Amino acid sequence: MNIALIAHDSKKQEMIAFVKKHEEFFKQHTLFATGTTGLKIMENTDLMIHRCLSGPYGGDQQIGGYVGEGKMDFVIFFRDPLTAQPHEPDINALMRVCDVHQVPLASHQKTAEFIIKTLESEGK
C-alpha cells in the first residue's frame, strides 16, 4: 500500500508523533511525503520515505498526480485550518482528486487513526 504524508508547518510535530506511534504499521507500507515533512519524519524514525518536492514547490501536487495515476492508496494531510500560511500546500485540489479517485484522505489525527485501525483489522 502506498501512503502519502503531508503536514502544514504548525502540524509537523504532530505528524512526527503520530507516525512514531504507528511506526510498525507504516513499516509495512511504501511511504511518500512532501520534502520537509518526509525529512523530519525520517530524522525521527527508522522509516524510509520517498520525498517529493516541499509543499511550497509543488510536492502536494506531485502526490495528487500519483493519486490521479492510481499509485496512491491513502493520504494523510495534517492541515492547520486556522493559521496556515500562504506558502503552505492547499488541501482543496488534493481533496478533489482523492474524492474523484476514491482515495481516503485524513486531514487530522482522529480520522487517520480510524482509517489505520480499519486497515489493520482488514489485514492491510
- Cβ-Cβ contacts under 8 Å for 50 (sequence gap 6 or more): 30, 31, 32, 33, 38
Q: Which of 9, 46, 60, 99 is catalytic?
A: 60
123 is in an annotated binding site: no
Q: Does the annotation mark 60 as catalytic? A: yes
35 is in an annotated binding site: yes
12 is in an annotated binding site: yes
Instruction: Report the distance separating Cα 94 and Cα 91, nearest Å.
Output: 5
58 is in an annotated binding site: no
29 is in an annotated binding site: no
101 is in an annotated binding site: no
Alpha helix (H) residue ranges in the chain: 12-21, 23-27, 35-44, 59-68, 91-100, 109-121
Run of H or E including 49:
strand 49-51
Can you tell me whether residue 3 is helix, strand or coil? strand
59 is in an annotated binding site: no
- Residues acting as catalytic residues: 60
Question: What residues are designated binding site for substrate?
Answer: 8, 12, 34-37, 54-55, 87
Question: What residues are designated binding site?
Answer: 8, 12, 34-37, 54-55, 87
